[in-house]
Structure 1
Amino acid sequence: MDASLVVILSMAIVAGLFMAWAIGANDVANSMGTSVGSGAITVGGAIVIAAVFEFLGAFLAGGEVTSTIRTGIIDVEALEHDPDLLVVGMLSALFAAAIWLTVASAFGWPVSTTHSIVGAIIGFAVVTTGIDAVQWWDVAAIATSWVATPVLAGVISFFLVLSVQRLIFDRSDPAYFACRYVPAYIFASVFITSAVTFIKGLKHVGLDLSMPIALLYSVLVAGAVAALGRVLVYRLGFPSLEFPTGRQSRFDDVERVFGILMIVTASGMAFAHGSNDVANAIGPVAAIVGVVSTGGVAAKSVIPVWVLLLGAGGIVVGLATFGYRVMATIGRKITELTPSRGFAAELATASTVVVASGTGLPVSTTQTLVGAVLGVGLARGVGELEFGVVRTIFVSWVVTLPVGAAIAVMFYYLLKAMFLGGAG
């Protein structure tokens, strides 16, 4: 390759940071849009929560999905004869996906970052080695998850809203019953995130737990957080509610309790987002680092810690600097959200995405969250949904994959001419 290894690695870092920034700017809605839109937390609070838990999710549980993005979409061994093409192709995919995400963010479209990077990788693979280089069965499995996860999240959020309505709002004293049942919801939120982290995510730090031990730790962590949540609910929410009063409490007081709960679910959502979407940025970077380090193409290689840190840091910066447009779309424009409804959407999304991330499937966090918000709206009634906004979102999803592929092809030929002189 004509360019030095330093130049190639530098471009990979720049492209990875650009992609991570674009993911943060567009997918901020996935982790924080519902929390801010429902009024549970401020934008500043959302950034702080995301900075901590996006990073933890990326570092602790991001490796499984990264492996799929890096080697599960195309047969990288088909490029074994010319690893330089893989490097150019992965750089093209990163720049293409990042540019499309930036454009979408400017218009407030919550497009799928997973669609963007998968489409971009497929685009360069087809023009590089032909259509047979794409592992279509694996792509089909990924595409199936793009349909299944929004539906699953929508079903979960639908029944969560109904459960909140039945267990709390329809009772004689909603405030008291909110204090009673919110700790159980906290337990469920923390258990889901903890279980997948302990089972799948701690191999990066040298901790490989058996299933029984991982589940035991998850129960202990969830129980401790739920107990703390109970104390906070009683002390910060309703200090006088030690016993049922039989008096009809105001619904906004109940929402105040769910506002406390949403701090927990927002943290879980940020963790889920970091565990899944960091792979979209660093999967191609990991492939480039592998080629530069070994001089060849390998289907399996260790993902460097600094690559995980690169993706996590870029996501947080993008979230803080350019995420407000998409946040407004998810948090306010699809359906009216309150803390109790936002909680249902976030818990459903976090549960779905974290579990899917543990299986190694790069699901679309955007689509999963939109499915969950739609489930919330349907639980309130079809008339509560803004179908014009939903239609625009669906159209942006459909065009994302082919647009990502087309831009990647253009970048591939440009970078190929720059680094390889058009040969290969």
Structure 2
Amino acid sequence: MTEEQGDPRHLETLDRDLARFSNLEMATSYAARPMVGIGISLVFVLLAGIAAMLFFGQQSNAVIVVVAACLGAYMALNIGANDVANNMGPAVGANALSMGGAIAIAVIFESAGALIAGGDVVSTIAKGIIAPESMGTAAVFIWAMMAALLSAALWVNLATWIGAPVSTTHSVVGGVMGAGIAAAGFGAVNWSTMGAIAASWVISPVLGGIVAALFLWLIKSRIIYRDDKIAAARIWVPILVGIMAGTFATYLALKGLGKIAKIDLTTAVLVGAIIGALVWVAMIPLVRKQSEGLENRNKSLKVLFGIPLVVSAALLSFAHGANDVANAVGPLAAIVQASQTGDFTHAVSLPFWVMVIGAFGISFGLFLFGPKLIRMVGGQITKLNPMRAYCVALSAAITVIVASWLGLPVSSTHIAVGGVFGVGFFREWDAERRIRKARLAMPDRTIYAPEERHRRKLVRRSHFMTIIAAWIITVPAAAFLSAIIFYLLNVAMG
């Protein structure tokens, strides 16, 4: 070894150089991940097109079906990347599930919901947004559905990139509306239906937030703020799990099992009440055993809510797969039917292969791009623990049931994220209430200054404003994109 090589300064330089190479390798690996994800996505889209070619290659309109299948696959990828995060985010944010575990559960239950209980029929054009007869010809209808599908997928892709959870159903609705206006004018749009959808922008998150906040208040007042938290938990956790079981049984009966059996609201509620009561009775000895030896502190309570939270995430995913996937791939089914039979004015059958594209696309999209939105919903809006996440999951199911009873069109995305907001804002209100109470009890005690309390807000306002803005402009943005795409398709096809 030379004197220069033995010099400590030389060794420090070498360490710095090695560190630079290490950092470069890390940066390269991170840069490669998005490219890998995009590459796998492109392969899936191409495989969907090849599969459609194998099935329909002998028909004269095979090219249209192949292109539509590729667009449907692209849309499904975006549903997985954005929509599914709303079901899994709270469980991951509360540390009840790892990211890998959440993705595995979501892939299994979303796919099962889509393939087992996915809807047989979707309405002619996205729940009656436009009058199909206004389209004139099957060709115009096909281009309109192509534009709607592509614009919805592009908008959801953009929303995922900026980190905003948006409604894929609303994106499809906006796409259909924009294409319909471009094809047949404003008179083609069913404005009463659009008005109800616009109202749901407010109703969905507000209802979800109120229900989640009420359950968090119940948990805090009956368990967390009690002197003997474990004794209180032994009484209330079985009741809360029973409520959850009954609610999800009702929710799945209404929203997830329409393909297997048609169940009215009264029957669904009765079934849910029976299942809820049975689960409540079964949970009493289980919670008692699980709580043995736990310390009398809040951290111990998290153990009791972990498993119910995981189960609720799985059930939400199943119901989402059954209920929302059909809405997203509906335009693809409409294109296939119109191109094969020329019929575009009647109800659209949903072929099994279309649901397969939807199910697999969701799985790939979630696996490749879902973690970003899962982290956003689960931890970046407000801090969640198992009790708060439980309130969010339960509010999602209860709000959908109440909305079905009232006949209101609501978005599962808006409800779930609204539940997260509701929990966060309730925590802010509760913290302020306790500070005021402490100030009255001990006037001489130092309390956080107003500026410091503002800095410690429990809901991040930047995320709140970004998400609300994305919700408001989803339908107009998708409609504008769709109208432009329809115009370009019309010009290209002469």
Q: Judge same fold: TM > 0.5, yes or no.
A: yes
Match of 2:326 in 1: 279
2:71 to 2, 15, 31: 15
Moved more, 53-62 or 327-336: 53-62
Output the CA distance in 1 between the equivalents of 2:240 and 2:70.
41
1:238 to 291, 297, 310: 291
Match of 2:31 in 1: none
Cα 1:165–1:211 shift into 2, 3 Å: closer
Match of 1:406 in 2: 480
Match of 2:54 in 1: none
1:70 to 108, 112, 126: 126
The AA in structure 2 aligned to 1:163 is L
Report the Cα offset of residue 148 of structure 1. 0.7
Answering whether residue 122 of structure 2 is matched by residue 122 of structure 1, we say no
Task: Give the structure-2-normalised TM-score.
Answer: 0.75
Task: Give yes or no for contact 1:157–1:372 (8 Å, CA) kept in 2.
Answer: yes
2:141 to 78, 86, 91: 86
Whose RCO is larger (CA < 8 A, sep 6+)? 1
Cα 1:64–1:215 shift into 2, 3 Å: farther
Q: Which ranges in structure 1 are unaligned for 5 or more consecutive residues?
A: 242-247
Cα 1:130–1:212 shift into 2, 3 Å: closer
String of CA shifts for 1:179-212, please: whole Å, max 9, x gaps.
Answer: 332232222223223224334653423x335666
Output the CA distance in 2 between the equivalents of 1:240 and 1:109.
42
Output the CA distance in 1 between the equivalents of 2:280 and 2:364.
31
The AA in structure 1 aligned to 2:489 is L
Cα 1:364–1:333 shift into 2, 3 Å: same
1:345 to 386, 392, 404: 392
Output the CA distance in 2 between the equivalents of 1:391 and 1:286.
36
Task: Give yes or no for contact 1:60–1:201 (8 Å, CA) kept in 2.
Answer: no
Cα 1:390–1:129 shift into 2, 3 Å: same
Cα 1:173–1:219 shift into 2, 3 Å: same
Cα 1:156–1:216 shift into 2, 3 Å: closer
Moved more, 82-91 or 50-59: 50-59
Cα 1:85–1:318 shift into 2, 3 Å: same
Q: Which has the larger radius of gyration?
A: 2
The AA in structure 1 aligned to 2:234 is C
Match of 1:260 in 2: 307
Report the Cα offset of residue 343 of structure 1. 0.8
String of CA shifts for 1:295-331, please: whole Å, max 9, x gaps.
Answer: 1222324333433343233222211210111112111
String of CA shifts for 1:108-132, please: whole Å, max 9, x gaps.
Answer: 2223323322211111111101111
Cα 1:240–1:227 shift into 2, 3 Å: farther
Output the CA distance in 2 between the equivalents of 1:231 and 1:67.
47
1:55 to 105, 111, 118: 111
String of CA shifts for 1:198-245, please: whole Å, max 9, x gaps.
Answer: 34653423x33566654454344444555565565455x42458xxxx
Answering whether residue 489 of structure 2 is matched by residue 415 of structure 1, we say yes
The AA in structure 1 aligned to 2:291 is F
Output the CA distance in 2 between the equivalents of 1:31 and 1:404.
23
String of CA shifts for 1:367-388, please: whole Å, max 9, x gaps.
Answer: 2222111110122115322112
Cα 1:61–1:196 shift into 2, 3 Å: farther
Match of 2:415 in 1: 368
Output the CA distance in 2 between the equivalents of 1:341 and 1:304.
40
> What secondary structure is seen at the aligned counterpart in 1 of 2:83?
helix
Q: Which ranges in structure 2 are unaligned for 5 or more consecutive residues?
A: 1-58, 430-456
Cα 1:371–1:228 shift into 2, 3 Å: same
Cα 1:150–1:200 shift into 2, 3 Å: closer
Q: How many residues align?
A: 409
Aligned pairs for 1:12-411 (under 5 A) are 12-59=68-115, 62-63=118-119, 66-67=122-123, 70-79=126-135, 81-199=136-254, 201-205=256-260, 207-209=261-263, 214-226=268-280, 229=283, 233-235=287-289, 237-240=290-293, 249-353=296-400, 356=403, 363-382=410-429, 383-411=457-485
String of CA shifts for 1:13-39, please: whole Å, max 9, x gaps.
Answer: 221121111011012321101110111
Task: Give yes or no for contact 1:49–1:267 (8 Å, CA) kept in 2.
Answer: yes
Task: Give yes or no for contact 2:126–2:173 (8 Å, CA) kept in 1.
Answer: no
Output the CA distance in 1 between the equivalents of 2:477 and 2:375.
24
Cα 1:57–1:324 shift into 2, 3 Å: same
String of CA shifts for 1:106-164, please: whole Å, max 9, x gaps.
Answer: 22222332332221111111110111111111111122122111111111011000000
String of CA shifts for 1:71-93, please: whole Å, max 9, x gaps.
Answer: 411111222x3011111111111
Cα 1:62–1:152 shift into 2, 3 Å: farther
Cα 1:202–1:345 shift into 2, 3 Å: closer
The AA in structure 2 aligned to 1:20 is A
Task: Give yes or no for contact 2:79–2:365 (8 Å, CA) kept in 1.
Answer: yes
Report the Cα offset of residue 278 of structure 1. 1.2
The AA in structure 1 aligned to 2:363 is V
Report the Cα offset of residue 338 of structure 1. 0.8
Percent identity over paired residues: 39
The AA in structure 2 aligned to 1:164 is I
Report the Cα offset of residue 289 of structure 1. 2.6
The AA in structure 1 aligned to 2:482 is A
The AA in structure 2 aligned to 1:36 is V
> What secondary structure is seen at the aligned counterpart in 1 of 2:62?
helix
Output the CA distance in 1 between the equivalents of 2:265 and 2:418.
30
